Structure 1
Amino acid sequence: MKFKVSAELGYEIKAPSTLVINIHALRTAHQNVIEETLSTPSYIKTEQLTDVNGENRFMRLEVPEPCTISIKYDALVDNYYEVRNHKDVAEIPVAKFAPSVLPYLNPSRYCQSDKLYRLASNTFGKIGSSFEQVFAITDWIHKNVEYLSGFTNSETSAYDTVTQQAGVCRDFAHLGIALCRALTIPARYFTGYAYQLQPPDFHACFEAYLGGDWVLFDATRLIPLNGLVKIATSRDAADASIASMFGDVTPTITKASCQYADETPFKPIYYTRSIFDGVTYF
């Protein structure tokens, strides 16, 4: 299914600065960028980069003097989603994980899985399969954490969210990741464009590594699982920020949009309590 995505970022630069921007749709085996355009001021040096794993796409801007800048991105993206039954998927032991998966078992800056081990073990440890555990984690977060815009900040961690019981999509994702890792289930942060999100914005959720696949989960339940266009995956938000600013920089505009652009009717996919089917990585 096809989506048209766009982003606009604006900044007031008060001194020579560098910005690292992360708004490009990823090119993966299940996400094809059909076309895209990027607009930046011509007098600013711009460099396209990828992370060490060769997947996440970044743009580095060097701004030599004070000014006001605008960055605009537009893309047409074709996504493939696969619905699979995870009831009978074989569990993969840690000893068989690929090296690229292993870092997603460890605690990270915003996902202190080591501090949440007792909570995860006591609440979800006796549940049958790993998929059912992650589903239960997602369901528990949705019921026990209030979605409250503006309540948290860039320093809020998964441990804080358990205590405060409120947050935004970023916090819901960090808590899901931390609880998964505490149960020895690899999990990673996901940021992207979101169809039907109101108000329109970038969105965060998480993926868990189950049966050899990265499976998507969203504890906020604000949008359909198949309404996402992936921008980046990482250990947590520290590695996948939409914008990292180095210098005297003040954000002035942050806009994101995701519109359905396929000829076939959109059929939303959600998890239900009675059916343990999963949407695989894309």
Structure 2
Amino acid sequence: MKFSVNSSLSYVVNGPTTFIFNIHALNTTSQTVLTEQLIVDPPMEIEEYKSHDGSCRFVRLKVHQPTNFTITYEAEVEMKYTIIDERNSAKLVPVVELDSYIASFLYPSRYCQSDKLTKFSFKEFGHYPSIYEKVLAITEWIYTNIEYISGSTNAQTSAMDTITERVGVCRDFAHLGIALCRALSIPARYFTGYAYQLNPQDFHACMEAYIDGNWIIFDSTKLAPLNGLIKIATGRDAADSAVSCIFGNAAGTSVYVNCNIVEGSFTPFRYDGNQKGVSFQ
């Protein structure tokens, strides 16, 4: 399938400020960026670079004096995905056998304090027989017990805040799911991207859990079909995958995001009772 994605972010800058943007679609084995362009208005010099593990594509921009500007990204992306049938799954990969990169997604992080949720996670989800069932149970628990309310949290909200206050937005749902997975020794990472059929359109966050050698995607919000997600970045949590980081005196004034299908038939994929998941490697 081919998707067109578009995002436009506007800012007012009051003094010298450096911005780091993370809005490019990522090239992966299942996702290919066919065409893309980045426009800064008014024109400014930019630097493009990747994270050390290739999980993010960054743009760095330095504004030297007060101004207003808009950065716009457009791309056409071809995406494929793999349906993983967990009825035929292999055994859990023991922590001792995980490579160092995968194992890094077991540790507590700024927004995902898994070390504080171990007792709760084992009590609620430890009895499920398979890893997939554990993660799916976590996903369903968050969907059922956490109320989704736009604007209810902020950039400081953590998984502990979310499970205590029982309210949040997509990044909070993702952080809590990641923390609960890690508390059960299941590697989990943050996923941010463009989302087809998300209403209203915005950048979207969910999580990927490492199960039987595959990163399988889970979305506790259930706001978009799993096979309509275009990956921007992955990371330990939102601190690694923020769409925009501001170092200086500036403020955002508007955000526009859109994702549409341009070629191919689309049948929304969601979890079912047959233990099938979606993987975007």
TM-score range, shorter chain: over 0.9
Following TM superposition, by how much is the alpha carbon of 1:159 offset from its aligned partner in structure 2, in angstroms?
Answer: 0.6
Cα shift at 1:177: 0.1
Q: Report the equivalent of 2:34.
A: 34
- Letter in structure 1 aligned against 2:170: C
Aligned residues: 280
Q: Distance in 2 between matches of 1:13 and 1:42?
A: 13
Q: 2:56·2:232 contact (CA, 8 Å) conserved in 1?
A: yes
TM-score (norm 1): 0.97
Q: Deviations over 1:65-92 (max 9, x none)?
A: 1111110100000011111211221121
Equivalent residue letter for 1:220: T
1:278 equivalent to 2:270? Answer no
Which amino acid is the alignment partner of residue 199 of structure 1? Answer: P
Q: Aligned Cα RMSD in Å?
A: 0.9
Tell me the distance in 1 between the aligned counterparts of 2:47 and 2:262. 30
Counterpart residue number, 2:121: 120
In 2: Cα distance, 1:155 partner to 1:104 partner: 20
Q: What is the match of residue 242 of structure 2?
A: 241
Q: Which residue does the alignment assign to 1:66?
A: 66
Matched letter for residue 241 of structure 1:
A
3-state SS of paired residue (2:53): coil
Asked if residue 56 in structure 1 is aligned to residue 56 in structure 2, the reply is yes
In the TM superposition, what is the alpha-carbon distance from 1:61 to its structure 2 partner?
A: 0.1
Contact residue 27 and residue 55 of structure 1 kept, 8 A? no
Structure 1 stretch displaced more, 34-43 or 216-225:
34-43
Distance 2:24 2:198 in 1: 19
Query: Secondary structure, in 3 states, of the residue corresponding to 1:254?
Result: strand
Deviates more, 1:23-32 or 1:36-45: 36-45
CA distance in 1, matches of 2:256, 2:236: 24
For 2:117, what is the secondary structure of its paired residue? helix
Q: Which amino acid counterpart does residue 117 of structure 1 have in structure 2?
A: T
Counterpart CA distance in 1 for 2:10 and 2:40 is: 10
Ranges in structure 2 where 5+ consecutive residues have no aligned partner: none
- Cα deviation 1:174-200 (Å, max 9, x = unaligned): 000000000000000000001011111
* Distance in structure 2 (CA, Å) of the matches to 1:43 and 1:166: 40
Counterparts of 2:84 and 2:242 in 1: how far apart (Å)? 30
Shift of 1:259: 0.3
Q: Distance in 2 between matches of 1:41 and 1:6?
A: 15
Do the aligned partners of 2:42 and 2:70 also contact (CA within 8 Å) in 1?
no
Alpha-carbon deviations, 1:127-166, whole Å to 9, x = none?
1011110000001100000111111111111011111111
Q: Which residue of 2 aligns with 1:189?
A: 190
Provide, for residues 91-124 of structure 1, a one-character-per-residue CA deviation record: whole Å limited to 9, x for no partner. Answer: 2111111211111000000000000111100000
Show the counterpart of 1:13.
13
Partner AA of 2:77 in structure 1: V
CA contact (8 A) 2:117 2:179 kept: yes
Deviation larger for 82-91 or 183-192:
82-91
Aligned residue for 2:173?
172
TM-score by length of 2: 0.98
- Unaligned runs of 5+ residues in structure 1 are none
Aligned partners of 2:140 and 2:220 also within 8 Å: yes
Tell me which amino acid in the other structure corresponds to 1:89.
S
